[in-house]
């Protein structure tokens, strides 16, 4: 039963994250669609492990180089998904302001 609860909470968190990603791009206040490139990372992340699972036979309990490489590539893709918004913010493509900039400046001053 604990596995089902974890799966449900993980899928709920993913759905909320995708909803916030879509809202952040679609709201007319921001009007920037660059964060949608994160969807490529979300689509690509399970592919290496799925390919390795199909290739490697699970009869042996020892670790396998193909599976470890797939886990390494999946980890790299997931870390890249976290790093892309940081690169966008550093290049000033997107901003981390929650409110429109004139309002934020009035609040901070």
pTM for the full model? Answer: 0.68
Does residue 67 belong to any structural domain of this protein?
A: yes
Q: Which of 10, 8, 36, 20 is nearest to 93 (CA)?
A: 36
Show contacts of 22-31: CB within 8 Å, 24+ apart.
Answer: 29/100, 30/94
Q: What is the span of the domain harbouring residue 66?
A: 32-108
Does residue 10 belong to any structural domain of this protein?
A: no
pLDDT in tens, 24-63: 777 776 677 888 888 888 889 999 989 988 887 766 666 7
What's the pLDDT at 61? 61
Domains: count for the chain: 1
pLDDT of residue 102 exceeding 60, the answer is no
């Amino acid at each position: 039963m604990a596995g089902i609860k974890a799966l449900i909470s993980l899928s709920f968190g993913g759905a909320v994250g995708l909803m916030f990603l879509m809202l952040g791009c679609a709201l007319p206040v921001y009007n920037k669609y660059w964060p949608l490139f994160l969807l490529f990372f979300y689509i690509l992340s399970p592919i290496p492990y799925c390919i390795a699972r199909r290739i490697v036979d699970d009869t042996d309990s020892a670790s396998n180089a193909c599976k470890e490489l797939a886990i390494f590539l999946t980890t790299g893709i997931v870390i890249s998904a976290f790093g892309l918004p940081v690169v966008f913010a550093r290049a000033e493509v997107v901003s981390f302001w929650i409110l429109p900039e004139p309002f934020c400046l009035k609040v901070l001053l």
